[in-house]
Every structure is written in C-alpha cells, then in structure tokens.
Structure 1
Amino acid sequence: MAKVHPNVMPSPGEAAAAAAGPATEEATTLTVWRKSLLFNCKGFTVFDAKGNLAYRVDSYDAEPAGAEVVLMDPVGRPAFTVRRKRLSLAGEQWLVYAGEEARRPVHAVKRGGGKSVARVAPCAGGAGASYEVEGSYARRRCVVYDGQRRAVAEVQPKEAVGTDVFRLVVQPGVDVSLAMAVVVVLDQMFGRPSFLGSWSS
C-alpha cells in the first residue's frame, strides 16, 4: 500500500502554513485518508504534498446524536465545524461554521439535482461564494464549480489504494479549509457507510 502516514509533527508555525488558508499561488494537493490516527476513533487524516499532517477529523463511536464534527488543523485548532440539520419539508442540510462558532453558520450545503450532487451557498448575511458539486463522491470523482463555472476544487481517486484514500486538489485563491469541510459533508451525504454513522441536530 502507498505511504499514507505523516512525517514528523510540524511545529505550530509550520502547522499554520501546512493548513493552507484562502490564498495560495499554485494548486494545493492534499491526500485524504478516511481514517483517524486516534485509537477507537473514526474520521479523516489529511496530508499535504510533502507528507505532513494538514487536517484531521476525529470522532468517537460513542458520540451522541447531534454531535458536531470539527475539522482541525495539525495541532488541533478548529478550522470549521459541520452540523447536519433535518428540515421538516425540505429534507436536510449541512451547516458549516467558522472555527467552533455554533451560532451563525457561514455556509449551508444541500443535496443537488440533475448533474449537481450538492450545492454550497453562503448563509444569510454571509459574504462567501456559492458552489456546485458535480460527479460521484462514491467513486471519488467530483468537481466543485464556482458561480462562473470555473473548476475550483476536485476530488480524485488515488491509484491502487481504494476509495478510503483519495486526492483533493484545490485551485489558487480558494479556501483549502472550506474545500476540506465540503468533503466532510460529501462523506455524510454519500459515504458508504458514513464514517460518523447517524448524527443530526
């Protein structure tokens, strides 16, 4: 099996650089492993192009329904929190909060229709962009488009390692942390089985 483990844990300064922010000069390629490095946890472990830990999601099996899913940087600082919300008539949506903020979501993600498998929209009062996700997350082949139909991120299969390890390629100028948060939501929508089981709010 291909190498899917991190190099030596970076210092806090290096960790901040590894968890790329909104702007980079070239595409950012991450290797996403659908597994937690913590014993008895489920989640994601994400590495940058140099093999350093970039993000992680850890969830204990015993977490109650309604638990939040936190996307963290290498040293455990929250980048985004994802929470699923059931809607009485409109199905369900996933709310994405900045850091651990639980009062005002910055984005809402819903299942799409037609070619679109998911739609990402800024929440009321938010200044973020809208995105459409097309393709197949189950096959690890999907593309995220912005409002001008530019491909801004892509989930790609990684050769010969199955669907639990794949690539996330994020174009310059796009928030890499948000792109990874969208992957967490896609896994909730289409993962078989979803790595966190059933959780809702």
Structure 2
Amino acid sequence: MTKVYPNSLILGSPAPEVDACAEPAALTVWRKSLLFNCSGFTVFDAKGSLVFRVDNYSSESRTEIVLMDAAGKPLFAIRRKRLSLADHWQIYEGEGAAPAARPSFSMRKHATLFSSKALARVIPCSRAAGEAGPIYSVEGSFSQRACVVYDERRRPVAEVQRKEAVAGVSFGGDVFRLVVQPDFDAGLAMAVVILLEQMFGSRAAPLKG
C-alpha cells in the first residue's frame, strides 16, 4: 500500500521572515478516522508519526468537533456559533467545556456575490478590553487543495497543497499536504483545515489531474 505521509517539501508561496535555521513543518492530512464507524482526520508528520486526529461519532449535522493530539488529548474544540445564519465557527482551547469558557478564535466564511479568492477570515477573540491579535485570511481553492493562510502582513503562515503522486498512484482529494511555517501554531492550522472542510467540503469539486 502506498504511504500517505509527506514526501519532499515544495512550497508554492514565498516563505515568511523567520529564523534561517527554522524550517516549515510538512504534514500529511488524511480525511479519514483510524477508528471504525467514525469520520474525521488523521494527520502525520514528515517521519510518518501520528500528530493530530479527529474522530467524529455524531451525524453530519454535528455542531462540535474536537481536534486531538496523537495521545487523544484535546487541543481545540470547534463549535458552530449559536444563532448564526452563516458559516461562523468558534475555536476553543482544549475541550472548551467550562461554562464560562471563551473562544480563542472565530472563523467566518467569506460571503460575496462576485468571484473572489477569499475563503474565510480567522479573528482572535479578545479576553480583555483592548487585547488584540493578528487577523488571518484564507485564500485560494480548498476543493482543489490549493489555498493559503496569510497574516496581516500578507505573509503565508500555512498552506494546503495537493499531495504528489507516488509510483504513479494518485491520492485524490482525501490525502493532501499541510505546510505550516515555524512561527504559526500547527494545531491552529489544522483547526482551520477542519473548518474549511465544513465550509467547502460538501461542495468540493473533483480534483483536476
């Protein structure tokens, strides 16, 4: 069976200004749970080690998704914003189970009547008055596995890429690459991927060869 974890790293966008010794993390995302009768994601690093997992037992109408590390520890809880008519989700650290828990980020699908590369925006949720953080924009085509997360200075911090065929075997859309720059949280990058799947996955067009 052809291995699904990363092959050589190829960045399609300019690298951000980071330490010369640091390198981007090349992850392979498999749109499949390792557990029977579950949907979700399984994510490997460049050495083939499991780093993230999502195992969903509930129906397609789910309103909460939990991103876990390899040991099953919750990293982010992702919930659809209540009373929201649009695709608007909130990202909590850990399980986010406490009644007073506040989201760390919110992500909203970009809505426009005109053709646009913009897919979504990721906005930090202030925990105190005047507290702020960088706003990230997602552009490109998730259905074609070709989109980039940019920071406010238009530096690419994460990128979804097609997975190159190995020995003539194509992986299709269920296996793709997530390249994360060293100054960006890989867990948050994967949370963004999960929400892109929620927003665009059901309408994803077949990948072009």
**Structure 2-normalised TM-score?**
0.77
Cα distance in structure 1, aligned partners of 2:108 and 2:186:
20
Cα distance in structure 1, aligned partners of 2:148 and 2:28:
16
Instruction: Specify which of 107, 110, 113 is matched with residue 108 of structure 2.
Output: 110
**Structure 1-normalised TM-score?**
0.80
Cα distance in structure 2, aligned partners of 1:116 and 1:193:
16
The answer for unaligned runs of 5 or more in structure 2 is: 6-18, 165-169, 205-209
Cα distance in structure 1, aligned partners of 2:48 and 2:196:
24
The within-5 A match list for 1:79-94 is: 79-88=75-84, 91-94=86-89
- Structure with larger Rg: 2
Cα distance in structure 2, aligned partners of 1:151 and 1:2:
30
Q: Give the CA RMSD over aligned residues.
A: 2.3
Moved more, 184-193 or 26-35: 184-193
TM-superposition CA deviations, 1:29-54 (whole Å, max 9, x none):
10000000000000000000000001
Tell me the SS of whatever aligns to 1:29. Answer: strand
What is aligned with 2:94?
99
What is aligned with 2:198?
188
Query: CA 1:127–1:98 in structure 2 vs 1: closer, same or farther (change >3 Å)?
Result: farther
Deviation at 1:66, TM superposition (A): 5.2
Cα distance in structure 2, aligned partners of 1:66 and 1:42:
11
Cα distance in structure 1, aligned partners of 2:138 and 2:60:
29
The within-5 A match list for 1:47-196 is: 47-60=44-57, 62-63=58-59, 65=61, 67-88=63-84, 91-102=86-97, 103-112=101-110, 113=112, 114-125=116-127, 127-159=132-164, 160-192=170-202
- Identity across matched positions, percent: 58
Higher strand share: 1
User: May I ask how many residue pairs the two structures share in their alignment?
Assistant: 175
Matched, 1:35 2:40: no
Asked whether the 8 Å contact 2:63–2:80 carries over to 1, the reply is: no
Deviation at 1:4, TM superposition (A): 2.6
Asked whether the 8 Å contact 1:155–1:168 carries over to 2, the reply is: yes
The answer for unaligned runs of 5 or more in structure 1 is: 6-22, 195-201
